[in-house]
Chains A and B, each alone.
Chain A
Amino acid sequence: KQEVTQIPAALSVPEGENLVLNCSFTDSAIYNLQWFRQDPGKGLTSLLLIQSSQREQTSGRLNASLDKSSGRSTLYIAASQPGDSATYLCAATFANFGNEKLTFGTGTRLTIIP
Chain B
Amino acid sequence: DTGVSQDPRHKITKRGQNVTFRCDPISEHNRLYWYRQTLGQGPEFLTYFQNEAQLEKSRLLSDRFSAERPKGSFSTLEIQRTEQGDSAMYLCASSLVVEWGAKNIQYFGAGTRLSVL
Contact = CB atoms under 8 A, between A and B. Distances in A.
Residue among B35, B58, B108, B109 with the highest chain A CB neighbour number at 10 A: B108
Contacts of A42: 110-111
A105 interface: yes
Interface string A45-61: 11001010000000000
B104 A32 contact: yes
16 contacts: A31-B104, A32-B103, A42-B110, A43-B4, A44-B91, A44-B108, A46-B108, A51-B103, A99-B97, A99-B102, A100-B56, A100-B104, A102-B33, A102-B45, A104-B43, A104-B44
Contacts of A31: 101, 104
B42 A91 contact: yes
Given A42-B111, A46-B108, 11 more contacts: A43-B6, A43-B108, A43-B110, A46-B105, A49-B103, A91-B43, A99-B97, A99-B102, A102-B43, A105-B42, A106-B42
Contacts of A100: 31, 33, 48, 55-56, 104
Interface of A: 4, 31-32, 34, 36, 41-46, 49, 51, 89, 91, 93, 98-107
Contact of B45 (A32, A45, A101, A105): A101
A81 to B, nearest CB: 23
B41 interface: yes
Interface residues of B, number: 31
A44 B43 CA distance: 10
A89 B42 contact: yes
Contacts, number: 66
